[in-house]
Structure formats: structure tokens, C-alpha cells
Amino acid sequence: MSFVHLFRRYLREQGLPVTQQREAIAEVVFNSPEHLSVEDIEKKLRERGERIGKATIYRTLETLVRSGLVEEHDFGEGFKRYEHLFGQKPVREHLICTECGKVVDMHSTELHRVQDEAARQQGFLPARYRLQIYGLCADCRAAGAELRWEGLSCPIETV
């Protein structure tokens, strides 16, 4: 099932040209369950025999994000990642492995409820939120990776 027709409809509604390149980029993002970087997208396009420049990819991703079909993430890696929102709730929690860079979605309605409550206690009406947990994934842990702490080893002045 392809969702590309939704993007096509959005482009038409916005008076933007529906191009084969834009559709190819949307298809790559829609068909992947991963959190794709621009590099990943470029690679997948190449595998499909499409040669599309980075500038076009960036512009199309911006449009996809504006359409509400794709979400942009910044996991502090120095680049953005993109994920489509089909079949997913807009409430997101992410587990990010600092060793291999793997990003896994995590859903917890319990966590959502607690955050909602905490916000409301401040008189705040929450609409959406993001939670990012950094650490080591199961594979990296199994491979013997250890957490690296990059701050002061001891925050107390010992002279």
C-alpha cells in the first residue's frame, strides 16, 4: 500500500508541481520503517536507479514535513532524521543508541499519562511532546559496549 497519492494531493493543494523526483523521495521515506538520514535516502534512491541531488532531497523533505506526513527528528548527531507517520501515533518516545546510532521507537501510554498530568499541574495544555532516551541498545550491550560518561568524573573539587 503506497501513500504517495496523499503527498500528490498535498502538492496539488499547495499549487506545487508534482514531479517524479518528489514522488520517488516520498516513496522511499514512506516505504521505510527506519529513521532515515538524507544520506540513507540518497542511497535508497540510488538503489532504485534514481539520481537525485541533495538539494532536491532536502527541499522535498521540508515539504513532506510541512504536509504532516513525515516527522523530522534531531537526535543530536549533527544531522536530521526523517520518519513517516503512517500507522503511528503522533506521541513519540525514542531510544537512541550512543554507540551504533540505532534509533528505536518506544511507546508507553503510562508515560504519556504521567507527562500529561505533570504538564496540567502547571496549568499547561499539552499538544505533543518528544522524549529521547540516550544509552546503549541491546546489541551493543551484548557486544560488550559500555556507557561512556563524558562529563567530569567527579564534580567535587578535590584540589
Task: Give dist(CA 76, CA 145) in Å, integer.
Answer: 20
Q: Which is nearer to Zn ion, 35 or 52 (CB)?
A: 35
- Smallest distance, Å, CB 39 to Zn ion? 18
The answer to the question of residue 96 lying near Zn ion (CB under 5 A) is no
- For Zn ion, which stretch binds (CB under 5 A), given 4-12, 50-58, 99-107, 150-158? 99-107
Asked whether 63 and 25 are in contact (CB, 8 A), the reply is no
Binding mask 40-69 for Zn ion (x = CB under 5 A): ------------------------------
The reply to whether 100 sits near Zn ion by the rule CB under 5 A is yes
Q: How far is the CB of 28 from Zn ion (least distance, A)?
A: 16
Instruction: Tell me which residues touch Zn ion (CB under 5 A).
Output: 83, 97, 99-100, 102, 105, 137, 140
